[in-house]
Amino acid sequence: MEEIVQAFFNREIATEALPIVLQGLLNTVLLSLLVVPLGLLGGLILALLAHSRSPFIRWPLMAWVDFFRAFPPLVLLILLFAGLPFAGLELGGFACVAIAFFLNTGAYYGEILRAGIESIPRGQVEAARSTGLSGLQAMIYIVLPQAVRNVLPDLLSNTLEVVKLTALGSVVAVPELLFQARQAQSVTYNATPIVMAAVIYFLVLWPVVRLLSRLENRALAVRG
Amino acid sequence: MPPIVSAKAIHKHFGTLHVLKGVDLDVAERELVFVIGPSGSGKSTLLRCLNRLEEPTSGSIVVDSIDMLSPRTDINHARQRIGMVFQSFNLYPHMTALGNVTLALRKVAGKSRAEADVLGRAALERVGLADRAHHRPAELSGGQQQRVAIARSIALEPRVMLFDEPTSALDPELVGSVLAVMRSLRESGMTMIVVSHEMGFARAAADRVVFMDHGLIVEQGPPAQIFESPGQERTRTFIGQIQRH
Amino acid sequence: MSRWDRFLDTFFNLKVMAKYLPDILSGVVLTIELALAVVITGLLAGLILALIRSVGIRPINWLIIFVVDVFRSLPPLVVIVLVYFGLPSAGFAPSAFVSTWMSLALVLMAFAEEIFWAGITSTPKGQWEASRSTGLSFSQTLLSVILPQALRLTIAPLTNRTIAITKGTALGTVVALHEILGMASSAVSNSYNPSPLMMGAAAYIVLFLPVVVAARWIESRFAWKR
């Protein structure tokens, strides 16, 4: 028992590692604040384009979305990080994470927003257009606010996944929470810093998970 | 002859709400008892206590000489003898009509699939839906769904049938087909307890009408007496309201 | 050499590709094995937890909810790192394969439990009552009447979640698992050419794109109608 405590909950090492791990938490928060809006932006662009009636836009778009749903985000990240330098383009871990998230999470957000937009009855647009609003205005003021509200649980759930996904940054040396914890671990030869990182992730994200499980239960009940 | 259903001093509380306040009800074999009363009077709760879908807070219930509230009673086995038909049909949407009817035959009565199919088809025949055996509930009209639900109960050859507002969810033109099935059941000698607002059916088919209000039986008697000359003011008011519609 | 030729020579170098094709293929086999193991054990464990939860024993349910919440909150990569680098200190040193499998299966279990549970609770109360009134027991009702309906309701969210988590097999590369990405990465550093990575990427598309397309079809096919 004492060994387990020493290996996973070592107080000395925890004290030593705390500043390093907290720096990681700060970076994870900053990274999330960058990649979530970026992904949302990508998703919004996709969803608006998908609204187009032309099959020449819709089909390639669907292929694009399915491509990124099939493609593991880590592979995308490594492709950018290790592949692009061969084309003479060295972007650094941070920029690669930003691009990969824009592409990957954008596809997921896009799919959610598209479903939201499709859930709004045509009459809403017709009513807005009949009062003289342009198509874009009708989209921005009438359709999108309702659409977002309809798919809020899905958006929140995806955002949770995006925040968790920032841990991938550790693979390309972005000093986020997991990376910092592993640095501390390799210096101290002790698993305590990684346990700290796990506990921090849990404490920060648990409220979101609780909220989501309520929202999801309700959503499925309504559908049933 | 002892009554086939005997409920004594049934109380039911939902939290602070006192829904049944000491109800006694005896039903003789082959009798059709019709329970009426305003919504919230406790009539559906009483029905659901009889097969213990609701657990009575206190009282005793004996059905076909089985003590329903005894912990030693195999409630699942006892429930086979008490058929129940619901307002909202509650057919299993993922099964065909025949599947709905045969499930309990196989799982509770222990019949083989072949035996269960024969009995199931016979039950569907009795409700006039032999040709719908392989349809799913979504492909049937409301009246047909309710008749399948009745077949699901009678296939188990129950001693008593409970009907909880069986026609309330139906479009008016579909009510007749369900009532016709209930009438033929009655003629075959089935003991039935019916909670319903179909006063015409009550007049024509019931042996006894029970009027409930605020968790108590206010008055009971033959239909002619309850409808034409009720003894209680509350009964008179209720009958009056119903007949104005 | 034109720029286009140089591009092809760099990213789609046939000689390099031919040399590392066997490596990539062995990575594909490992990825498939890992993915199947994760899907089967994760979904099964999630289903069992949901069924236990429906029995409704309070302390057990709290435990289930807590475990599920933990694995929904933690990034899968953190779980993998914790299992692979942490557990040896507790005297249990799982291999890279077992670490990745265990971690992803636990994460899938958590999400699957939540989805199955939502499906079970959203099946109307009348279904329980009708079934119990014909004498079926609690477990017979759960298995014959409730579960088939719940499964149908959950199939779309479940497939999407399963795909998202199964793609995480690529995370195994962080603990030196020789799956597709791991094989491709080491081939890149050995050959100093990115072509193996392109092959690896193509392999993922070949593996997962059909599943994504199938999921789309399933979603429209099983849209619930009563």
C-alpha torsion angle, residues A91, A95, A101, A106 (rounded to 10): -90
d(C-alpha A16, C-alpha A25), whole Å: 16
pLDDT of residue A220: 57
Helices B142-154/B172-187 angle, 10° precision? 20
User: Tens of pLDDT along chain A (224 residues)?
Assistant: 777 788 788 888 888 889 999 999 999 999 999 999 999 999 999 998 887 778 888 888 888 889 998 999 999 999 999 888 888 888 888 899 999 999 999 999 999 999 999 888 888 888 887 777 878 888 888 889 899 999 999 999 999 999 999 999 999 989 999 999 999 888 888 889 999 999 999 999 999 999 998 887 666 555 43
- Give the contacts of C30 (CB within 8 A, at least 6 positions apart): C97, C177, C178, C179, C180
Q: What residues in A contact C198, CB-CB < 8 Å?
A: 83
Domain that holds residue C203: 13-221
d(C-alpha A7, C-alpha A190), whole Å: 6
Q: What is the CA A48 to chain-centroid distance, rounded?
A: 19
Q: What residues in A contact C153, CB-CB < 8 Å?
A: 220, 223-224
Banded pLDDT at C225 (limits 50, 70, 90): very low
A-C contacts at Cβ under 8 angstroms: 157
Q: What residues in C contact A71, CB-CB < 8 Å?
A: 167, 201, 204-205, 208
Nearest CA in chain B to C148: B94
Q: What residues in C contact A190, CB-CB < 8 Å?
A: 89
What pTM did the predictor assign? 0.84
Q: Is the pLDDT of residue C119 over 60?
A: yes
- Name the residue facing C149 among B88, B94, B152 (closest C-beta): B94
Q: Do B94 and C152 touch (CB under 8 A)?
A: yes
**Residue C5 belongs to some domain of the structure:** no
Nearest CA in chain C to B138: C226
Q: What residues in C contact A201, CB-CB < 8 Å?
A: 73-75, 78
The burial class, CB within 10 Å (0-12 / 13-18 / 19+), for B69 is middle
Q: Is the pLDDT of residue C226 over 50?
A: no
Q: Do A73 and C185 touch (CB under 8 A)?
A: no
Q: In what order do the strands lie in the sheet with B58-63?
A: B17-27, B5-14, B58-63, B66-67
Inspect the structure and tell me whether chains A and C have 3 or more CB pairs less than 8 Å apart: yes
What number of other Cβ atoms are within 10 A of residue C139's Cβ? 11
**Residue C2 belongs to some domain of the structure:** no
Q: What residues in A contact C169, CB-CB < 8 Å?
A: 72
**Residue C105 belongs to some domain of the structure:** yes
**Residue C115 belongs to some domain of the structure:** yes
- Give the contacts of B243 (CB within 8 A, at least 6 positions apart): B199
Gyration radius from chain B CA atoms? 18
pLDDT in tens, C104-113: 999 999 999 9
pLDDT of residue B245: 59
d(C-alpha A168, C-alpha A186), whole Å: 18
pLDDT of residue A217: 66
Above pLDDT 70, what percent of chain B? 99
What stretches in chain B show pLDDT beneath 50? none
pLDDT of residue A4: 79
pLDDT of residue A224: 39
H helices, E strands: number in chain A = 11, 0
Q: Report chain C's mean pLDDT, rounded to a whole number.
A: 90
Amino acid letter for position B243? Q
- Give the contacts of A210 (CB within 8 A, at least 6 positions apart): C69
Amino acid letter for position B84? M
- Name the residue facing C170 among A66, A74, A87 (closest C-beta): A74
pLDDT of residue C157: 86
Give one DSSP letter per residue of B110-136, joined into a string: ---HHHHHHHHHHHHHHTT-GGGTT--
- Name the residue facing B90 among C126, C148, C225 (closest C-beta): C126
- Give the contacts of B188 (CB within 8 A, at least 6 positions apart): none
Nearest CA in chain B to C149: B94
Which of B159-170 are b and which e, b meaning 16 or more Cβ less than 10 Å from the residue's Cβ? bbbbbbbbbeeb
Q: Which residues of C touch B (CB under 8 A)?
A: 124, 126-127, 129-137, 140, 144-145, 148-149, 152, 225-226
Pick the residue of A75, A89, A187 with the most C CBs within 10 A to test the interface with C by mutation: A75
User: Nearest 5°: phi and psi at A14?
Assistant: -60, -45
pLDDT in tens, C38-92: 999 999 999 999 999 999 899 999 999 999 999 999 999 999 999 998 888 888 8
Domain A2-223 has CATH 3.10.20.440: no
Contact call for residues A73 and A104 (beta carbons, < 8 A): yes
Domain boundaries, chain A: 2-223
Q: Do C130 and B91 touch (CB under 8 A)?
A: yes
pLDDT of residue C18: 87
Nearest CA in chain C to A222: C122
Q: Residue A39, SS3? A: helix
Could you tell me which chains touch chain A, where touching means 3 or more CB pairs under 8 A? C
Q: What residues in C contact B51, CB-CB < 8 Å?
A: 133
pLDDT of residue C100: 96
Q: What residues in B contact C151, CB-CB < 8 Å?
A: none
Contact call for residues B4 and B64 (beta carbons, < 8 A): yes
Q: Is the confidence metric ipTM above 0.85 for this complex?
A: yes
Instruction: Report the number of distinct structural domains present in chain C.
Output: 1
Q: Do B93 and C226 touch (CB under 8 A)?
A: yes
d(C-alpha C82, C-alpha A191), whole Å: 8
CATH assignment at residue C72? 1.10.3720.10
Banded pLDDT at C224 (limits 50, 70, 90): very low
